[in-house]
Amino acid sequence: MIRRMLEAFQRSEDTPLEFDERYNVGKRIEARKRHHHDRLHESWQDENRQVISQLKALLERPKAMQYYDDLFTTETRLRELEKAKKAGTRIIGTFCNMVPEELIYAAGAIPLRLCSGCSHALKCGEEAFPRDSCSLIKSSLGFAVAHAPFLSLCDAVVIPGTCDGKKKLGEVLNAYVKVWMIELPQDKERTNAKRFWLGEVRILKGRLERLTRRKIDRKSLLSTIGLLRKRYDVIRRLHEIRRSVPSKISGSDAFMVIQAAFFDDVTRWTAETVRLCAELEGGHGIKEDSVRLLVTGSPIIMPNFKIPIIIEGFDAVIAMDETCAGSEYMYDPVELDEGTMQDMMNAIAERYLMPSMCPCFVKSEDRIDKLLDFVEQYRIDGVIYHTQRLCLLFDIESMKVRDVMEHNAVPFLSINTDYSKEDLGQLRTRIEAFIEIIHSRR
Ligand code: SF4
Ligand code: SF4
């Protein structure tokens, strides 16, 4: 510990935030794991299957979607990850979209984004986290409580301390798996904030190097920046395709494609998504006269697709989204100047802070500017703002977004919901009425 502090001091870095493991609660954790070891991964796959069959009944989908359907419903990826782990590859879980994946790949490890939309996992999560907290956190934590993949494969989990829930998730989850918190500045624009954040990114680099016993050097980092650049390029191509009127792909499918990248092999995902884009550019089209909606707010994560399925079941399409588990996940690439180690670290730090539209920062102007920009670029007829129930941050920002949209004569609907199915009828009525109003004004 003292040696690490001294080394960090010599590198003029802060010391990492560490959880002490002072209380011996291991037996209780093990008992919980045994109690909940209930095929959660299989339940996740079942929920995915239900969503996919709903989508198939609803829409004519591109043929290339079969790849993603299989990925979400078969054991292929799980077996690959288990094999990699057996061979000594480290697996790093991540939350949110501020964790630099380039560093994880450069350390020879595999990142897995753990944000979950599985409703079966809520019950397990509620064993360790308050019932009155956001479904995303409880569902993600549920996989740790039940010791279920993909979380059970992780050697460490990186959590940015965004909201109160994520901050405390770190401490709770650390009883199940090693957690590395990364702290975020309150305001991205301040000079000190950028310096502080670069320090956090450097700390993460050091932790990855120690865990994998592999130095992240200029060559490995340059190579993984290139690897992920190809992923950004294809996702940009998909965003371009989403501008077409009529739409060529549903928002539900776009969410699914992007979220497949949370756990898929990056090279294969990129190749498959190039294939999908080629098919879409070749003329696949849906719904001639659909109302074009922009969905923003709390992340909508497979298999919790109740909102996209309701929207696209009516005469509407999610032409674009502004969510961190959708278009925001890979919106901006790492931009290099000279390609030195220092330059790459700066560029990575910049990429994972500045474009983040997460409501955890004190100011929301850049997010609202982006929404207005999307309204224009994607020829949006109306905005649906989704707040995860009990998420105060998104709820607060919805008021300002509503005022700005209404000022700009953009129809706006605010929805507050969770992973349960109880409010399906009510949501359907409200969304249908919203779409009908937009149709009648055309
Ligand atoms: S909105 Fe922010 S805190 Fe919530 S999951 Fe996304 S990046 Fe994380
Ligand atoms: S939806 Fe809200 S409460 Fe849930 S993790 Fe994201 S910011 Fe936190």
Q: Is the peptide bond prior to 361 cis by the omega test (within 30 degrees of 0)?
A: no
Listed in sequence order, the DSSP H helices in 161-283 are 164-173, 191-212, 218-241, 251-260, 266-281
Q: Name, in order, each residue with C-beta under 8 angstroms of 322's C-beta and a sequence gap of 6 or more.
A: 294, 295, 296, 328, 357, 367, 370, 371, 374
Question: How far, in Å, is the centroid of ligand 2 from the Cα of 146?
Answer: 22
Q: Higher pLDDT residue, 13 or 274? A: 274
At residue 385, what are phi and psi to the nearest 5 degrees? -105, 115
Residue 414 clears pLDDT 80, i.e. is over it:
yes
For 293, 372, 378, 383, 396, the CA distances from 257, given in Å and listed in that order, are 19, 24, 19, 22, 29
Average confidence (pLDDT) over 83-99: 98
Cα separation, 281 vs 283, whole angstroms: 5
The whole-number average pLDDT for the span 13-34 is 79
Convert the pLDDT of each residue in 248-276 to its tens digit. 999 999 999 999 999 999 999 999 999 99
- 323 vs 304: CA distance, rounded Å: 14
98 ligand 2 Cβ < 6 A: no
Residue 196 main-chain phi, psi, to 5 deg: -60, -45
Protein residue with its CA nearest to atom 8 in ligand 2: 163
Q: Which residues contact 58 (CB under 8 A, 6 or more apart)?
A: 252, 309, 312, 313
Contacts of 337 (CB under 8 A, 6+ apart): 343, 347
Q: Going by CA atoms, what residue is nearest to atom 5 of ligand 1?
A: 96
Residue 393 beta carbon below 6 angstroms from any ligand 2 atom: yes
**Residue 394 Cα: closest atom of ligand 1:** 1
The pLDDT assigned to 34 comes to 72
88 pLDDT band, cuts 50/70/90, is very high
CA distance 73 to 260: 11
Which of 138, 162, 415, 419 is the best mutation target for the ligand 2 pocket, counting ligand atoms within 8 Å of the beta carbon and taking the most?
Answer: 162
Q: Could you tell me how many residues make up the chain? A: 442
Looking at the predicted structure, is the pLDDT value of residue 5 above 70?
no
Instruction: Kindly report the backbone phi and psi dihedral angles of residue 67, in degrees, each rounded to the nearest multiple of 5, phi listed first.
Output: -60, -45
* Site to substitute for ligand 2 among 99, 129, 135, 136, most atoms within 8 A of C-beta: 136
Rounded mean pLDDT of 75-83? Answer: 98
On the question of pLDDT at 6 being above 60, the answer is no
Best of 183, 324, 353 to mutate for ligand 1, by most ligand atoms within 8 A of CB? 324
Nearest partner of 117 among 135, 129, 130, judged by Cα = 135
**Is residue 164's pLDDT more than 70?**
yes
Q: What is the mean pLDDT of residues 50-69?
A: 96
Q: How far apart are CA 221 and CA 223, in angstroms?
A: 5
> pLDDT value at position 196?
95
- Give tens-digit pLDDT for 270-317: 999 999 999 999 986 676 789 999 999 999 999 999 999 999 999 999
Atom of ligand 1 nearest to the CA of 391: 4
Residue with the larger pLDDT of the pair 442 and 415: 415
pLDDT of 283: 81
Q: Is 192 helix (H, G, I), strand (E, B) or coil?
A: helix
Percentage, residues of the chain above pLDDT 90: 87
- pLDDT tops 60 at residue 348: yes
Closest CA to 360 of 159, 188, 186: 186
d(CA 111, CA 96): 12
Model confidence pLDDT, tens digit, residues 330-339: 888 999 998 9
Task: Say if residues 166 and 188 touch (Cβ distance below 8 Å).
Answer: no
